[in-house]
């Protein structure tokens, strides 16, 4: 009966392997001669082939969409070159690490924000406080979308502290050691300009929220080890003496200023930045490493104006 075939064609619920088998068997029973049944079997087989191809195409499209979604997630939590490392092939159990010789590291914090939060919490406005912090951090993040901050990479935030670095591109490291490289530390200039832009973002937010937060920034340069830790929740991070020094520059710094060690200031002065000698300060861990702990002789640091 052609009506059966029409129903099978138009009713998605009937379009299954089992329904086609039933339809073919029914055709054989209704036409013992086998002539009509053969034609119906050919049509049913063609229809099934079409449906299978359609299903296969949809599954391929779904897989492609899922892969693009996974790539987007990876790019949101890992630098592009690191994300590509994991996307190239199966690296589930492979540890990613990379040594860099010329990297700039930045730490920035909002002194007094913890006290500000505690005061807001007492009057049940802690959610508004977190919303403000999110607004500030988002403003810093959006700076990295600018074309002139492409060398700057956000590492992480811890509370109201912000960590970023420059010079973490493998291509940058290759160029840095090339004889034809004109300026291996141009990314350090970019990192300082990024810090100055952060200060401007904070001033703008202060104006519109009636606050008076100031950014305290520390920057250092040197070698680091970069890597990804964690499997289900991967975290890209950097380690080394340079990271510790940048952190100490921030914690011993002055609000509203950028503090750097003497070696970093020399590089920046050559690139047109002005510096102001702050005086000798004791840097825990750094001065000790140089054997100066007994006399508490501290390293000399500078504030970039």
Q: Is 18 a catalytic residue?
A: no
Of 102, 248, 257, 275, the active-site residue reads 248
Residue 127 phi/psi, 5-degree rounding, is: -65, -40
284 is catalytic: yes
User: Among 48, 45, 55, 58, which Cα is nearest to 16's?
Assistant: 48
Count the Cβ atoms, other than its own, within 10 Å of residue 238.
21
Nearest alpha-carbon partner for 200 in 151, 120, 130, 146: 146
Q: What is the DSSP letter of 149?
A: G
Strand partners, 218: 107, 259
SS3 content of the chain, % helix, strand, coil (to 5): 55, 20, 25
Q: How many residues does the chain have?
A: 305
Q: How far apart are CA 15 and CA 133, in angstroms?
A: 55
Apex 131 CA angle, 125 and 133, nearest 5: 110
The residue annotated as part of the active site, out of 67, 131, 284, 296, is 284
C-alpha–C-alpha distance, residues 194 and 104, integer Å? 12
Q: Which two tokens stand for residue 192?
A: 């300082």
Catalytically active residues, by annotation: 248, 284
């Amino acid at each position: 009966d052609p009506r059966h075939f029409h129903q099978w064609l138009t009713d998605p619920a009937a379009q299954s392997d089992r329904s086609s088998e039933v339809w073919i068997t029914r055709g054989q029973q209704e036409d013992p001669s086998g002539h009509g049944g053969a034609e119906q079997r050919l049509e049913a087989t063609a229809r099934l082939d079409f449906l299978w191809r359609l299903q296969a195409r949809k599954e391929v499209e779904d897989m492609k969409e899922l892969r693009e979604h996974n790539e987007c997630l990876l790019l949101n939590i890992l630098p592009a070159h690191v994300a590509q490392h994991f996307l190239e092939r199966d690296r589930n159990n492979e540890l990613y690490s990379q040594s860099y010789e010329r990297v700039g590291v930045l730490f920035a914090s909002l002194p007094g924000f913890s006290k500000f939060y505690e005061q807001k919490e007492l009057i049940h406005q802690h959610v508004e406080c977190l919303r403000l912090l999110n607004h500030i951090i988002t403003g810093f993040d959006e700076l990295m979308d600018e074309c002139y901050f492409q060398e700057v990479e956000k590492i992480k935030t811890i509370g109201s502290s912000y960590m970023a670095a420059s010079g973490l591109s493998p291509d940058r490291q290759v160029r840095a050691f090339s004889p034809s490289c004109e300026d291996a530390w141009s990314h350090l200039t970019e990192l300082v300009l990024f810090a100055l832009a952060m200060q401007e973002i904070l001033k703008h937010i202060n104006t519109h929220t009636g606050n008076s937060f100031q950014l305290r920034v520390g920057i250092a340069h040197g070698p680091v080890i970069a890597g990804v830790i964690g499997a289900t929740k991967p975290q890209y991070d950097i380690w080394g003496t340079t990271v510790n020094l940048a952190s100490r520059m921030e914690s011993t710094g002055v609000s509203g200023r950028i503090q750097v060690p003497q070696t970093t200031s020399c590089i920046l002065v050559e690139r047109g930045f002005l510096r102001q000698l702050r005086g000798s300060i004791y840097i825990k861990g750094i001065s000790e490493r140089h054997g100066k702990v007994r006399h508490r002789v501290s390293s000399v640091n500078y504030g970039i104006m």
